[in-house]
Chain A
Amino acid sequence: MSTLLARINAELKGDRAIWAIFAILAILSILAVYSSTGTLAYRERGGNTESYLFKHAVILSAGILLAYLAHLLHYMKFSRWAPFLLLASIPLLFLTIAIGPEINDARRWIQIPYVGLTFQTSDFAKLALIIYVARAISSKQEYIKDFNSAFLPIIVPILIICALIAPADLSTAMLLFLVCILMMFIGRVAVKYILLLFLLGLCVFAALILLHELMPDIIRVETWVSRWSEFTDPSTDGGYQVQQAKIAIANGGAIGLGPGNSIQRNFLPASYSDFIYAIICEEYGVLGGSVIIGLYVLLFFRTTRLVTKSSKAFGAMLAMGLSLSLVLQAFVNIAVSVNLLPVTGLTLPMLSMGGTSLLFTCMAFGIILSVSKFFESETE
């Protein structure tokens, strides 16, 4: 056992705390997915609860392998790849809008030919954009406060990518936009420009609504509007899903009903993805929910420590951006479950039963770990 641990210790370089967070989240995801897929498995797989768990475990294993491989790579490689990744993501996003299969009324996925796997192109674009923005910010540090030479080259790709994601998946686009703005904030971009961006964001949002009036088939706004009205309409009490989620949280009490004892998973649609936090609270109580939130805060805190150590700005910016994207998405997802935000459809990173988006999450962890690993070796 001790030799195994020693071996793991030798293999896994980088921030041990982030590794630990990654491992704990992976284990929790297995438990949570097993609990919440009970009804889904009954319905679609004739009661074979394990089939979903198995699928999840396979993807998770692939993800862990991916994270391990990514952490072996020197993060600077990503800096070199960034422009190409970004350029590649633009046609992919176009392709998705044009030919992607419609799943749950939205074209968010693209099918990989011959493999049959669908993956959400926005996941890829998100990763590419964050790497690119990290690179752009770090390379322009000398004149970062300048508008023409720094602000514009950074903001234009952000706007293009977000605009391409927005028609099918507004929540992801908005979240990504926010992550990029925060990265720019950290990267010393002038605060006045950032405020300007917020205004711009609002304008784009208004424009989207207008576009929807013109092209109702392409721009997906109805879902969003109905979710918003459900969120604000006091008579519906947040809508069916939110009510069920709240019942789940209330059922949990301080320490929860115990693993596998969730009642509400039967009534919560998408309990395995959008509302998995409510199921975690039901089974593990306020305690379990707080631990989850705490883990994400800890992840962010460990990433900030990387900045203090950093000798190169790119690594720090990259880790910050990825970590921000994970943490913010987690918080938005949890905020939906506790009815602080309208239903968005964003998953809880690492924890929700996921297809390929889980792989990108693991990839993000791998890159953060790569940064931490090389920072350690550089400071030594």
Chain B
Amino acid sequence: MEIKNEILYRVYILLFAVVIPAAVVLIYQTIYITYAEGGKWRKKGKELYIATRPVEPERGNILAKDGSLLATSIPYFDIYMDPNSTGMSEKDFMDNLDSLAHCIATYVDNTFTPGGFREFLLDRRRAGDRYVLIKRKVSYAERKFIEQFPLFNLGRNRGGFIVEKRSERKRPFGLLAQRTIGYTGREDAKPIGVEGTFDEYLGGQPGKELMIQVDRTNDIWIPLEDLSLVEPKTGDDVVMTIDINMQDATQEALLRAMNYHDAEWGTAVVMEVKTGAIRAIANLGRTDSGWWETFNYAIGTSVEPGSTFKTASMMAMMEDGFIKLSDTIQIDRGTTEFFEQTMVDASPFSAKIDSTTVRHAFEISSNVGMAKLVTKYYGQKERINKNEGAARFIQRLKDFNLHLPTGIEVGGEGNPYIKEAYSKEDQWSGTTLPWMAIGYELQLTPLQLLTFYNAIANGGTLVKPYVVQEIQRFGETIRTFKPTILKRKIASAKTISMMHELLDSVVTRGTAYKLRTDEYNFAGKTGTAQVGYRRTSEGKTFIRGYQASFVGYFPSEAPMYSIIVVINKPRRGGYYGSDVAGPVFREITDYIYRTQVKLHAPLNQQPKPALAGQQLPASSSGTRADVLKVLDYLKLPRYGNPASEVVALRAQTDSLMVLDRSLTAKNVVPNVTGLGLRDALYVLENRGLRVEVDGYGKVARQSLLPGTRAQGQTIKLFLQ
């Protein structure tokens, strides 16, 4: 028991001299930290003001119809240093300071010498700075390189290396559809365009990151860890309906015209007739340095359309059954008066004509003719009630949806302005109706007018214009925007077909005559509107400028695209719609015609032989099953179905004749020339012949003549 006692004695020494004192010391130290030093540590804990802050997600891209990048975010990095990082020891700092200063001065910023940087960094550390800029806007590769520098390679905590990721929005196609693509994030302006409307998709979900405030006065926060608590969710991609090539052609054509005519602003929009998809939308406004996409005129500017509106007036009268194209009307050599206000035709065609047909008046865009017609049918004062007179005319315009915005996804759409009939509020007067007939005293945006013309091109079905066709997430479509039909039928089929005829003849015989081409047919209406005009009480009109426009569709037989071109205040090179806007329209349609093969008529419509003799399949002979399989697969017309195991082909004018390729009796050498090697081997070896082969291709020659008795000899085949 002596041993046991000694052991026990020693265990108790251990218990009372080591374990219990150690436990006491540990508890004491815990209490000491909690209470004696507690205030200091708790203060420090609060000083390190840490909060969960949002992390900006990567913004989604905007793509054209074909996937071209219209807008994308390019990431870059800002590099900072925290010279008083909590984990940075004095030793680490001093050991690496020289080499770090050398690296920065050599590779990053040579405005200072290494010595200069050394002083600078030392100074910042002594001053207690937590956030020293090293370099802004570095690429990922540069960032990786800088990360390797001495001290920085110890990481954020020990090395004080801070990286802040930022990104920049870029539009690789520059000016193209810029205003419609839009922008967000500028503090002084509200978001516009698709960027604004689809911000919800493009913006993604911000993540969360623990950040530490290093500078309270300037509210500077730096991430505490390299990883976020919640990773931000990258924004979705928005695919626009824009066809980048068509957009380019449209923008180019418009810009050329803007330059040539020195105009104030202009817009051109191409819309797909069946769907309402906007394939191109260009907006150019005058700036000090040429023309830029400064405003979305197509969508945002409500203007008096002028003559292009006559189409609506004509359609109203046709729909009411008031007129036939062959009716005769007075156009008074292009000048008349309504309530002491003089109306003059813009074009010179009517100068020598007293009266003409409705069709011709429309073709030459006679203001007088159109105004007289409308006042004749809708201007009767004695029929003032809800559905008669001007009210009926206004109702027709409403039937055409001309009083409503199109509802395109891009924000900032201008509202149409159509006066209520006889409304005092709208300052309805005697001159309102005749001037409305020719597109004044009312306002529409170019896109609204185009949507109306598109409905005519689309057989009366009004579709909503749209610029975004789908939303993608990592290349997968997550939402598709389908074309929207706003109104199944805005007018009767008869009216629509008469309008087609009228708009055709504007080009074939009327104001747009000089725009016509032999290559394809298009239909449309010119417009030469007065802008900034002022009518005096004496009945005179002062005109400050013109707005040239052309709106139409093409090809007129089966319209695919409707297009509007509006050019405001051209200062030189004419002002007529057909001279200023028309050529832009033609440039666009020319481009589309040239690039879309399906619009071209086939060059040779004669029936042609299925195959010419020299185009026969490489193996013009073969086993029956093989040959028939190939012909059927290629869907080549054939006739003849011989029973022999080997067949030959002969080209006829429009089909192939399958012929019996007699290989004679079993014990006779057959003619195998023209056969492929596989078939020749099959046939010959079946007859007990041994085959030697030379060359490659089809059998050109055979050493044993056809008809020779086959007795197991060797036959040599020469292939070519």
Query: Judging by beta carbons under 8 Å apart, are B33 and A187 in contact?
Result: no
Stretch of A69-77, A229-237, A365-373 that contacts chain B: A229-237
Contact with A along B8-19 (1 / 0, CB 8 A): 101110110011
Query: Judging by beta carbons under 8 Å apart, are A42 and B34 in contact?
Result: no
- B-facing residues in A241-269 (Cβ within 8 Å): 243, 246-247, 249-254, 263-264, 266-267
Report if B693 contacts A (CB, 8 A).
Answer: no
Stretch of A2-10, A103-111, A294-302, A350-358 that contacts chain B: A294-302
Query: Judging by beta carbons under 8 Å apart, are A243 and B230 in contact?
Result: no
Report if B42 contacts A (CB, 8 A).
Answer: yes
Report if B538 contacts A (CB, 8 A).
Answer: no
Which chain B residue lies CB-closest to A297? B23
- A-facing residues in B16-56 (Cβ within 8 Å): 18-20, 22-23, 25-27, 29-31, 33-34, 37-42, 44-45, 48, 50
Cα–Cα distance between A327 and B22 once the two chains are bound (Å): 10
Report if B506 contacts A (CB, 8 A).
Answer: no
On whether A304 and B26 interact (CB within 8 A), knowing A43-B229, A185-B10, A252-B34, the answer reads no
- Chain B: number of interface residues, binned into ranges: 35 or more
Nearest Cβ in chain A — how far from B298, in angstroms? 45
* A307 contacts across to B, CB distance below 8 A: 4, 7-8, 11
Report if A61 contacts B (CB, 8 A).
Answer: no
Contact with A along B79-98 (1 / 0, CB 8 A): 00000001101110000000
Nearest Cβ in chain B — how far from A192, in angstroms? 15
Query: Judging by beta carbons under 8 Å apart, are A246 and B10 in contact?
Result: no
Query: Judging by beta carbons under 8 Å apart, are A320 and B11 in contact?
Result: yes
Report if A335 contacts B (CB, 8 A).
Answer: yes
- B-facing residues in A322-336 (Cβ within 8 Å): 324, 327, 331, 334-335
Nearest Cβ in chain A — how far from B526, in angstroms? 62
Report if B6 contacts A (CB, 8 A).
Answer: yes
Report if A174 contacts B (CB, 8 A).
Answer: no
Query: Judging by beta carbons under 8 Å apart, are B229 and A39 in contact?
Result: yes
Contact with A along B528-552 (1 / 0, CB 8 A): 0000000000000000000000000
Query: Judging by beta carbons under 8 Å apart, are B15 and A304 in contact?
Result: yes
Say which residue of B18, B45, B87, B224 sits within 8 Å of A247 (CB atoms).
Answer: B45
Cα–Cα distance between A267 and B225 once the two chains are bound (Å): 9
Say which residue of B25, B42, B210 sits within 8 Å of A251 (CB atoms).
Answer: B42
Query: Judging by beta carbons under 8 Å apart, are B33 and A246 in contact?
Result: yes
On whether A186 and B26 interact (CB within 8 A), knowing A43-B229, A236-B89, the answer reads no
Contact with A along B586-608 (1 / 0, CB 8 A): 00000000000000000000000
Query: Judging by beta carbons under 8 Å apart, are A236 and B44 in contact?
Result: no
Query: Judging by beta carbons under 8 Å apart, are A281 and B89 in contact?
Result: no
* A338 contacts across to B, CB distance below 8 A: 26, 29-30, 33
Query: Judging by beta carbons under 8 Å apart, are B91 and A229 in contact?
Result: yes
Report if B127 contacts A (CB, 8 A).
Answer: no
Stretch of A12-20, A82-90, A209-217, A285-293 that contacts chain B: A285-293
Query: Judging by beta carbons under 8 Å apart, are A243 and B8 in contact?
Result: no
Cα–Cα distance between A247 and B33 once the two chains are bound (Å): 9
Query: Judging by beta carbons under 8 Å apart, are B90 and A233 in contact?
Result: yes
Report if B227 contacts A (CB, 8 A).
Answer: yes
Cα–Cα distance between A187 and B89 once the two chains are bound (Å): 45
Say which residue of B18, B23, B34, B50 sits within 8 Å of A286 (CB atoms).
Answer: B34
Query: Judging by beta carbons under 8 Å apart, are B15 and A249 in contact?
Result: no
* B26 contacts across to A, CB distance below 8 A: 293, 331, 334-335, 338, 340
Nearest Cβ in chain A — how far from B227, in angstroms? 5
Query: Judging by beta carbons under 8 Å apart, are B45 and A304 in contact?
Result: no
- Chain A: number of interface residues, binned into ranges: 35 or more
Cα–Cα distance between A290 and B28 once the two chains are bound (Å): 9
Say which residue of B11, B86, B89, B210 sits within 8 Å of A304 (CB atoms).
Answer: B11
Main secondary structure of the interface of A (DSSP, over half): helix
Query: Judging by beta carbons under 8 Å apart, are A249 and B30 in contact?
Result: yes
On whether A182 and B14 interact (CB within 8 A), knowing A229-B91, A250-B38, A266-B210, the answer reads yes
On whether A188 and B91 interact (CB within 8 A), knowing A39-B229, A240-B157, A297-B20, the answer reads no
Cα–Cα distance between A247 and B26 once the two chains are bound (Å): 16
Report if A165 contacts B (CB, 8 A).
Answer: no
Cα–Cα distance between A293 and B20 once the two chains are bound (Å): 10
Nearest Cβ in chain A — how far from B488, in angstroms? 49
* A141 contacts across to B, CB distance below 8 A: 3
* A335 contacts across to B, CB distance below 8 A: 26, 29
Query: Judging by beta carbons under 8 Å apart, are A186 and B14 in contact?
Result: yes
Report if A47 contacts B (CB, 8 A).
Answer: yes
Nearest Cβ in chain A — how far from B186, in angstroms? 34
Contact with B along A177-194 (1 / 0, CB 8 A): 000001001111000000
Report if A64 contacts B (CB, 8 A).
Answer: no
On whether A253 and B34 interact (CB within 8 A), knowing A187-B7, A188-B3, A338-B29, the answer reads yes
Contact with A along B210-225 (1 / 0, CB 8 A): 1000000000000011
Cα–Cα distance between A84 and B3 once the two chains are bound (Å): 28
Give the total number of A-B pairs whose CB atoms are below 8 A apart. Answer: 133
Report if A239 contacts B (CB, 8 A).
Answer: yes
Nearest Cβ in chain A — how far from B206, in angstroms? 15
- A-facing residues in B91-121 (Cβ within 8 Å): 91
Report if A308 contacts B (CB, 8 A).
Answer: yes
On whether A43 and B227 interact (CB within 8 A), knowing A290-B27, A290-B30, the answer reads yes
Nearest Cβ in chain B — how far from A68, in angstroms? 27
* B89 contacts across to A, CB distance below 8 A: 229-230, 233, 235-236, 239
* B45 contacts across to A, CB distance below 8 A: 247, 250-251, 263-264
Query: Judging by beta carbons under 8 Å apart, are B34 and A281 in contact?
Result: yes
Query: Judging by beta carbons under 8 Å apart, are A247 and B230 in contact?
Result: no
Query: Judging by beta carbons under 8 Å apart, are A266 and B11 in contact?
Result: no
Say which residue of A188, A229, A297, A331 sits within 8 Å of B10 (CB atoms).
Answer: A188
Cα–Cα distance between A233 and B225 once the two chains are bound (Å): 24
Nearest Cβ in chain B — how far from A190, in angstroms? 12
Cα–Cα distance between A184 and B30 once the two chains are bound (Å): 31
Say which residue of B3, B22, B27, B210 sits within 8 Å of A313 (CB atoms).
Answer: B3
On whether A246 and B37 interact (CB within 8 A), knowing A240-B86, A304-B12, the answer reads yes
Nearest Cβ in chain A — how far from B91, in angstroms? 6
Nearest Cβ in chain B — how far from A118, in angstroms? 23
* B33 contacts across to A, CB distance below 8 A: 246, 249-250, 338-339
* A334 contacts across to B, CB distance below 8 A: 26
Report if A316 contacts B (CB, 8 A).
Answer: yes
* B31 contacts across to A, CB distance below 8 A: 286
Which chain A residue lies CB-closest to B10? A186
Report if A271 contacts B (CB, 8 A).
Answer: no
Query: Judging by beta carbons under 8 Å apart, are B50 and A239 in contact?
Result: no
On whether A235 and B90 interact (CB within 8 A), knowing A331-B23, A335-B26, the answer reads yes
Report if A361 contacts B (CB, 8 A).
Answer: no
Nearest Cβ in chain A — how far from B32, in angstroms? 8
Which chain B residue lies CB-closest to A300? B19
Query: Judging by beta carbons under 8 Å apart, are A188 and B7 in contact?
Result: yes
Report if A310 contacts B (CB, 8 A).
Answer: yes
Nearest Cβ in chain A — how far from B685, in angstroms? 56
* A243 contacts across to B, CB distance below 8 A: 41, 44, 86
Which chain B residue lies CB-closest to A294? B23
Query: Judging by beta carbons under 8 Å apart, are A250 and B37 in contact?
Result: yes
Most buried by A among B41, B42, B48: B41
- B-facing residues in A261-285 (Cβ within 8 Å): 263-264, 266-267, 281, 285
CB-defined A-B contacts under 8 Å, sample of 8: A43-B225, A186-B10, A186-B14, A188-B10, A250-B45, A297-B19, A313-B7, A334-B26
Q: Which 5 A-B pairs have the closest CB atoms?
A: A250-B41, A247-B45, A240-B87, A338-B29, A250-B38
Interface residues of B (CB under 8 A from A): 3-4, 6-8, 10-12, 14-15, 18-20, 22-23, 25-27, 29-31, 33-34, 37-42, 44-45, 48, 50, 86-87, 89-91, 157, 210, 224-225, 227, 229-230
**Beyond known contacts A229-B91, A331-B22: 19 more, CB 8 A cutoff:** A233-B89, A236-B90, A239-B89, A240-B87, A240-B157, A246-B37, A246-B41, A247-B44, A247-B45, A249-B33, A286-B27, A286-B30, A296-B23, A300-B15, A300-B19, A304-B11, A304-B12, A338-B26, A340-B29
